[in-house]
Structure 1
Amino acid sequence: MPCKIVVLISGSGSNLQAIIDQGQTTGSHYQVAAVISNKPQALGLVRAQEAGIATACVEHTQFDSRESFDIALSEVIDQFQPDLVVLAGFMRILTPDFVRRYLGRLLNIHPSLLPKYPGLHTHQRAIDAGDSEAGATVHFVTEELDGGPPVLQAKVPILPGDSAETLANRVLSKEHLIYPAAVNWFAQGKLTLRHSEAFFDDVQIPASGLAYETA
């Protein structure tokens, strides 16, 4: 049986599309069981529907607290009995209870070379700091925002004249490669979280994650 995943989105879902596309190839070990958004107009819901994938929407604006929203969200997620929950542009800060509920089977992708630049505006921060490179990191989610152990990183050069937008586009092209790869690793049983550390084939992953070029 393929690994069942549920993908959480808030927007256009380009990483979702990459995960869907990889999931339909012969080398894939996972199946996207459902896509859930906190925004009813999210384009990612349309992408999922066009691929024949179940969708749901849990609007955060209908709840008076993060806790009540996360409880309702987890109830919808659990209807699909996923082996893995994937955050793909899900623009909500998750409560500790939610994270603990799915600990070890909750992945996120962040548009920086973690631990650099957690949070927002990562591309502009990298440019302003004079960095020579930027990138993206797939990581396990823990209670610390963008602080879970990295799994896989891809780097891109920061070019003279880059804006946050041009750099973001270059990084996004790498995101579309590394996120499906990491999801497939998890589905194969290669990727695990143990005592707050990430492991690949029973070997602890370095603090900066595996490099995509050599992984």
Structure 2
Amino acid sequence: MTLRLAFLASHGGSAARALVQACRAGELDAEPLALASNNSRSPALAWAREAGLRTAHLSSATSPDPDALDAAIHDFLVGSGADTLVLSGYMKALGPRTLGAFAGRVLNIHPSLLPRHGGRGLYGDRVHESVLAAGDPESGATVHLVTAGIDEGPVLEQVRVPVLPGDTLDTLKARVQAEEAALMLRAVQSLAARHG
């Protein structure tokens, strides 16, 4: 079964870009349809428009009431025809209506080996800082299904990278990010096979 993909992104949307490229190269049996961002100036939104995806800026600026925003995101995603949602650096929690519509089919990538270094307040650079502060010998990235709890959903795929002596936030972050696109592709391929 061909997955019909939509994306939510806050900034660059690197996972969305990689997945759209994989779809168009025939590496992934999926159809990319839409991308919404909570940031009207996000590079992901501009890129998605150029890539021919349906786009929208949906945020507290467009819908100040959280329930109304959840409804707007839900309506945009469902209206695009998508059946699977990929969070591509999306820095906001999903509302219950959106989560319910895509239950078991919302994927997120987190830059650590969950359940370590996950949960409220641990995102972006804070995750890598936490790994370094803990003295962990390895880190990595995790693709998981999104549930109501932050970073608590079932793990689909993980990749491990070493934490090297002398690592800084930037060197560790670069090593993890270098693995993320391929990891997300494997996770979406796995989900497609499961629902095929």
Shared fold (TM-score, shorter chain, > 0.5)? yes
**2:177 matched to 1:172?**
yes
Q: Extract unaligned runs of 5+ from structure 1.
A: 192-200, 202-215
Q: Is the 8 A contact 2:70 2:96 kept in 1?
A: no
**2:154 matched to 1:149?**
yes
TM-score normalised by L of structure 1 = 0.83
Q: CA separation in 2, counterparts of 1:55 and 1:149?
A: 29
How many positions carry a matched residue from both structures?
Answer: 191
SS of residue matched to 2:147: coil
TM-score normalised by L of structure 2 = 0.91
C-alpha displacement at 1:113, in angstroms? 0.3
C-alpha displacement at 1:107, in angstroms? 0.9
Q: Is the 8 A contact 2:54 2:80 kept in 1?
A: no
C-alpha displacement at 1:146, in angstroms? 0.5
2:136 to 95, 110, 131: 131
Identity %: 35
**2:159 matched to 1:158?**
no
Which structure has more relative contact order (CA 8 Å, sep 6+)? It is 2
Alignment RMSD (CA, Å): 1.7
1:46 and 1:102, CA in 2 relative to 1: closer, same or farther beyond 3 A? same
Aligned residue in 2 for 1:31 = 31
Q: Is the 8 A contact 2:85 2:105 kept in 1?
A: yes
Aligned residue identity for 2:134? A
SS of residue matched to 2:5: strand
C-alpha displacement at 1:162, in angstroms? 1.3
**2:40 matched to 1:40?**
yes
Aligned residue identity for 1:68? A
C-alpha displacement at 1:102, in angstroms? 1.6
C-alpha displacement at 1:112, in angstroms? 0.8
Q: CA separation in 1, counterparts of 2:18 and 2:96?
A: 28
Q: Extract unaligned runs of 5+ from structure 2.
A: none
Measured against aligned partners, the alpha-carbon deviations of 1:99-124 in whole angstroms (never above 9, x if no partner) come to: 22321111111111000111321101
Q: Is the 8 A contact 1:66 1:94 kept in 2?
A: no
Any runs of at least 4 consecutive aligned residues in structure 1 with deviations exceeding 3 A, and if so which? none
